[in-house]
Each structure stands twice: as structure tokens, then as C-alpha cells.
Amino acid sequence: MNAESALPTPAQSARPPQAPGPRGLSRLRARIERAWWDTHEFLESASHRHVGALVFSGSERHTGAPLRLLYVGSGNHLAWVRDLAFRECRIESNEDGLPAWKARELIEKRGRDVDLVVADLPWPWHRLLRGRGFLEVPAWVNQRFALPERWADVFPRLRRSARGEDMRSIRKHRLGYRLVRDEEAIRRFYETMYVPHLTRRFGEAAYIEPEWKIRYCVEGGTLMEIRRDDTLVAAQVLWGSRGAMHFLWAGAAGEEYGPQSRGMFPALYYYGILYAFENGFAEADYCGSRPVLSDGIFQIKRRWGASVYDGWSRDTLFIRPRHLAGAGSEVLGRNPFIVRGPDGLEGRVLCAGAPACAADVDRARQLFASDGIREIRIQSLAAPEAAAFEAASAEPGIRIVDLSREADPAAAYARP
């Protein structure tokens, strides 16, 4: 029996035409609302004319080694950056209300004796640091799955782990779905699933949307509940626009980790894809992920066929190590960032503890390579093994860089 044959499938094998959208005044209203949201986001980004400059010191998240980091930015992604780098930390200095247009000057003055510099700038202030010797990292990337014309062609586009392990888990735990839009279901989702799930997962770094926004999108789309028999285990908001079904927000009921939670996140993707296909959408938009190739959410979406795109966020993170020794290299080595290169998105993998080897190339191919990532650059602080170069030569899109040959390895690491 095929993995997919025991799960619900569309009534017809071919993707139907998408239902016509609003017409007349309704269409005009929808376009005005979309234009308003787009304009509002740009204006909100541009309104951040001041930044803060904070120096953190503490223990690196994984090794506990001492680490000092300078953060200059709007604060939009401060908690995420801090939690990515530190196990525990304190603020050595904190200046607020500084002009955003002086970001480069602030970094040069205050970042001389730190291990890492991170600038967090919204549009259009990010242009101040572009091409200035930093890794340019989009604060979020977008992951989307193009739906084929025929249902049978969906499965070859998924990773083997999604076709096998994930679908078996959905069947084993008897997970189904239902669509709801009533007020009680929306409030239950917001108060008992969405907010607690984000708070548990991201802590202070969580960005919680207001309830009215969730309600607005459910009224124009739907709320998909995932159920084990009669027990609600998870839910997500689905909203169709511009030929794509957007997987906007999700949450889990109760603790989302452990035996009782197996299969619920794969179920959100499988049934979301099914719903998008049955309604004629050409794309399932999994929305934003953090720009780290090893991030858990990024990896789940990759399993479910996602390609990677830029443009999800109007914020940009600029990262520059002052040196590649000690805790700073640990942070970069454990977080293979997705960066903007001259020709598109690239992955940066730093081998800090040992020379790059053939296994690093195989890991990049199996775990990180994705449509939309033009190149994965494996950078080695020690001279790479000959086998690494040989393995990379057989893998288009993977390149080995020997930082040991560079006069300034830290500058070479951040070079486009």
C-alpha cells in the first residue's frame, strides 16, 4: 500500500480550476485592502528612524565559552539573535534613541572588542550596510510548494522522509481534519493553541498577532482543525490569495512534544496541501521561516517540498565576526545562515572545529540543499581534506572555501 493511499485524497485526480475571486466592488475592496497593508508595512519599516546599541556578554549557547556581542538595531529581532547566541548573558551597555543613519559609525566605534557584530535594520535603512563587509541575512525567508496539475505528481516532489515517516505517523495516530469558521473555534484556537504554542517555542522572541487579525483571515479563509478521533490536537489558519493558499498561523493543543503529539505537524501540511489542491490553488505558501538551514521549522517545510524565496521580511540582519576564534566561531558554525549573494540566496556553512571533509559535503546535500538556494558554501578554518574538494566537485551548487589561506579569515567568511 502506498503511503498516501490510506489517507484522504481529492475527489478528482486533476487540480480543478480555482474558483473565481471577488468581482465588482468586492474585488475593488480586496485590492484596496491589499494595497493598504503593503503600504502600511513599508511606512512602518521606514518609521523606525532610531536604533539601539547593546553590548552583551555571557556564555555561548552550546559550549558555555565566554562571548561578547554587539547588537545595533531596531529591536525587532533582538530576542531571537540573543537566544541564538547565548545560554545566559547580561547587558554591559545599552544606548537607545540613536539615529539609524549612523548605524555604520556606531558599529565601528562600539564593536572593536567584541566577538560578533549583528545589525538589525528595517527597510530602507538596511541599504546603509549593504556591501560593507557583512553577511546580509534576510530576517525571514519564505518557503512555498508549487502544486502540480495532477495529485499523483504531488508525492514525488516531497522529500522521502515526508512520503514515508511523516505519512505513516499521520495514519498511525488516526489524524483527520475538519474546517471551521465559528467564533468559538477562533477564540479557542487563539487562546489555547496559537498564543501558548508561540510562547513556548519562541519565548520573548515570539511575535503574537492580534486576535482581530486572526479572525479577519479566518472569515476570508478557513480554520483547519487536526483531530485524533474526537480530540483536537492542532489547528492552522488557511487563507487564499493571488493563486496561493497561505498557511498563516498554527498552534498545538496542550504540549506539542512527546508521543501524544506525533504526526500533528505533518498532518497540518498534508491536509493543507490537500485543501489547496481541491480548491484549485497553484501553490501552497508555507510562509516565513528563520534564515538558518538547520532550523527545525525550515527543515519540516523543506521535507514537504518547499522552495526558498527572499522578500518575506522587510528587515535585514547584518552579521560580521571580528575574528574566527573561540565562541564567535561556535555561533557561526552551529547556525548555517541563509544569506543574500550576488545572484540570489546562498547557504553559509562554517567548519570551525575540524577541516571540511567529504561527510560535510554529503550533509549539505542531504540536509541543506533546497530549490531557491543557489549555492551552499562550506568554509573551513583549517585546510580542507582533499576528499572534500573531490566530493564537492561532483555536487553542483556546493563549494568548498579554504579560509586558512586568507590573511583575514573573518573578513573572507563574510565576503559575498
Residue with cell 564593536: 111
Q: For the sheet with 398-402, list strands across it.
A: 338-341, 344-351, 373-380, 398-402
**Rounded to an integer, what distance in angstroms lies between the CA atom of residue 157 and that of residue 153?**
7
**φ and ψ at residue 224, rounded to 5 degrees:** -100, 120
Phi-psi domain of 11 (left: phi exceeds 0; alpha: psi -120 through 50; beta: other) = alpha
Could you give the count of Cα atoms lying within 13 Å of 89 in the half-sphere of its Cβ? 25
Q: Are 180 and 190 in contact (CB under 8 A)?
A: no
The DSSP result for 221-269, as a single string, is SEEEEEEETTEEEEEEEEEEETTEEEEEEEEESS--SSGGGTTHHHHHH
Q: What length does the chain have?
A: 416
Which pLDDT score, from 0 to 100, does residue 1 have?
38
SS (H, E, C) 266-291: HHHHHHHHHHHHHCCCCEEEEEEECC
- 238-291 tens-digit pLDDT: 999 888 999 999 999 876 555 556 789 999 999 999 999 999 999 999 999 999
Helix or strand or coil: residue 16?
coil
Which pLDDT score, from 0 to 100, does residue 30 have?
66
* Cα torsion 43, 316, 296, 306: sign: positive
**Rounded to an integer, what distance in angstroms lies between the CA atom of residue 99 and that of residue 35?**
29
Which pLDDT score, from 0 to 100, does residue 123 have?
87
**Rounded to an integer, what distance in angstroms lies between the CA atom of residue 205 and that of residue 165?**
30
The mean pLDDT values, 10 residues at a time, for the chain of 416 residues are 68 86 67 70 72 96 96 94 96 93 90 94 90 95 97 96 93 94 95 91 82 92 94 94 93 66 88 97 96 95 97 90 93 97 96 95 96 97 97 96 96 93
Output the nine-digit C-alpha cell for 179: 474546517
How far CA 392 is from CA of 213, 332, 386, 395, 404, in Å, comes to 47, 21, 10, 5, 18
User: What's the CATH number of domain 142-309, 1.10.510.10, 3.40.50.300, 3.40.50.360, 3.40.630.30?
Assistant: 3.40.630.30
Domain range annotation of the chain: 48-139+313-335, 142-309, 346-416
